[in-house]
Homo-oligomer: A and B are copies of this chain.
Amino acid sequence: MSSLKRLNLIESHLTSRFPTIPFDESLNDYRKKGTPINKTLLLESYLGHFYPGIMERRRIMHENPLFNHFDEAELSREALRKRIVQQIAAIYPSAGLNYKVVKEDYTKKLELLYGMADYDIALAVRLLVHLVLYTDTVTNLGTAKHLNLVDRAYNLQDYGSFGMTELGHGSNVASVETTAVYDHSTREFILNSPTATSAKWWIGAIGKTANMSVIFAQLFVDNINKGVHAFVVPIRKNDASHETFPGVVLGDCGKKIGLEGIDNGFILFKNYRIPYDCLLDKFSSINPEGKFKSAIKNKEKRFGIMIAGLVGGRVSCTSGCEQDMRNGLTIALRFSAVRKQFSGQEGPELPVLNYPLQRYRLIPHLAKTFATRASVIYSLGTNINTFFKRLEEDPECLEVNEFHAVLSALKVVTSWYGIACLQECREAVGGLGYSSYAQLGRIRNNQDVMATWEGDNSVLIQQAGKFLFKQVQKTFKGQKIQAKTLKFLKTDINEVNLFKPKFENSEQLENEAVLLEIIEYRVNILLHQSLLKLQENTMTSIDMIDAWNKAQVYYIQELSKAYGELILTNDFLRFVNELAAKDQVLGKIFRKYWLLYTIGVIEKSLVTLMENVFNATHVKAIRESIMRLCNELAEDSIQVIDALATPDLVLGSVLGVSDGQIYKKMVETVEKGKRVYEKPEWLPLLLKVKGIKN
């Protein structure tokens, strides 16, 4: 603890108008209920290869008074933005990133961002826009001549932004309206924003900060539209004046639901000329004779590669969801262990975490958090270096497409997990959760945006669906399924229909093989139901797109989510097995979490399963298992959260403190608030309303 923080603490003791608050043993009591576990081992396993990087960031934040959520609560938007730049300056150099380091191991970049996201998604995202969206795009789509820009980016000599979304186009990026017309006479491009809706919108770091931006625009060569291309464009003078260049309009998008520390802005171009080298020309170029050529002929595929810069963002999104959930649950669980309300017919009031309902509300989210973490480690973390390598070698290969599909499904599923989890945490904490000092509002409002950015969930999930159908289509032509994650697919409906669930009670249900079979069956049956629905729709639809759109609800969207949850199930099981090999006690606890996660996934598809193979006996077993697992795991949950929680000062929640002194912390924080004991500034108005002469 810094001396400043210590001083503040002492001060508050001396000035409080509250009765003295005795030490509250409730959290310790709950802690003792749990099985003692090896917390360090658990944390190391849980953070995986990100462990050292995240711990280093925690250390930096812990020691630095700049990282203090309570101070931030009352900051104005501009002050918050200043604070976040100070925080980036304090933490970024520790990562020692440059082109070479990242090329060798991309996870070095991720571990920095994940460490920052422990504190606040906003902090990580503020840097991510520059470090991932901007820098990766220049790296992946640029050529040798752009390498100096990459170096400048890693040195923070340039601060970049990512000009893709427009006011009128978010999901359908292929239809952005910004134009880049090639002028061969000067070998320049002329950027224009022909309409208000073509304004680049929501662009992080544009409002105030960035001097560079990657701009996605329709490229015209000889009046022919060559599709969307990316340009790296200077937008503000990189000197003390920080002036916007003539021909560019940059503004601030104003107040948002959350993430106020990020200066999202808009960009307009008016006949803004940029030299040829601004084109990121790895896949498309214009030769000195003015002739356009592209390594990838298909416009749609070319576009798919153009947005490869989003990969790091989506991976971080998934990790961010896990962090938001874990932070939210740390707060909700610790609170629930301390908060006492009602008793049995006799005896003292009980911690609300004793109630089966509260356990059912929270513990399944903890299981989802762990599943998400497992996919961040394996499907995403372990594979991302291979992905970038394969992307460079062959951007159209199966592995690249499969990674995109897996990532799309995971981003979507986990962001919705996160939104549901944070809302539940907020409510489970009751009225006190409505205080800003609980931090659940901030985390929830930050999590909220995960559903609509980096690919809107309802649209992005269709990418996973398309991948599945493309792979299946190949089998209709006699090819075998090559995709690693789809080996289990059964393309023959008769084979699928042979399936019978192998349990009649909860004991039989809680079996790895039995559960995995159901998880796979679920994808298979949804696939066939979706295929059937598509086939039906072709009779009543104007075209294939129409048929596709009409098969989203109940079918393709459910299929794609089921695919994502299959990945999560498998990754989570791998995590449990590796953990069990290291520590039996932990293995036993986490195997229960895996059971709860997997049975919970099955429960959400009960209607589909009952349409086909399940009956009332299966439902009964599922509900019994869920309630039993929630009850058993709740007893251990404080121990487990202790191991995995973000440290108090980084988490910054009065209700989530590890010493369990939640009331004390709440009172101290409220008493340090703005004008807490002062009369209203608007007293004269109040007196007037009440008819009191002043």
Contact = CB atoms under 8 A, between A and B. Distances in A.
Contact of A427 (B169, B451, B611): B451
A11 interface: no
Interface stretch (A389-397, A581-589, A678-686): A678-686
A612 B148 CA distance: 69
A194 interface: yes
How often does this chain occur in the complex, in copies?
A: 2
A670 B251 contact: yes
A251 B673 CA distance: 10
B254 A341 contact: no
A452 B427 contact: yes
A677 B243 CA distance: 11
A434 B458 contact: no
Nearest to A356: B550
A60 interface: no
Interface stretch (A30-38, A227-235, A551-559): A551-559
A435 B255 contact: yes
Interface stretch (A46-54, A107-115, A541-549): A541-549
A587 B257 CA distance: 39
Given A175-B349, A251-B677, A357-B552, A691 B156 contact: yes
A195 B19 contact: yes
Band of interface residues on A: 35 or more
Nearest to A361: B458
A252 B675 contact: yes
B456 A679 contact: no
A567 to B, nearest CB: 23
A384 interface: no
Contacts of A653: none
A673 B172 contact: no
A101 interface: no
A278 to B, nearest CB: 20
Given A452-B434, A456-B430, A458-B357, A85 B552 contact: no
Interface stretch (A74-82, A283-291, A317-325, A570-578): A74-82
Contact of A85 (B238, B436, B686): B686
Nearest to A168: B663
Interface stretch (A181-189, A441-449, A482-490, A593-601): A441-449
A342 interface: yes
Contacts of A77: 674
B257 A86 contact: no
A670 B202 CA distance: 11
Given A86-B685, A430-B456, A356 B435 contact: no
A431 B456 contact: yes
Contact of A252 (B82, B349, B673): B673
Interface in A220-257: 238-240, 242, 249-257
7 cross-chain pairs, A with B, having the tightest CB-CB distances, nearest first = A257-B441, A82-B682, A255-B436, A254-B673, A208-B680, A611-B616, A345-B543
Interface of A: 17-21, 73-74, 77-78, 81-82, 85-86, 88-89, 155-159, 165, 167-172, 175, 193-197, 199, 201-202, 208-209, 238-240, 242, 249-258, 263, 266, 268, 340-346, 349, 355-358, 360-361, 419, 423, 426-427, 430-437, 440-441, 444-445, 448-449, 451-453, 456-458, 542-546, 549-550, 552-554, 557, 606-607, 610-612, 615-616, 619, 623, 627, 663-664, 666-667, 669-671, 673-677, 679-683, 685-694
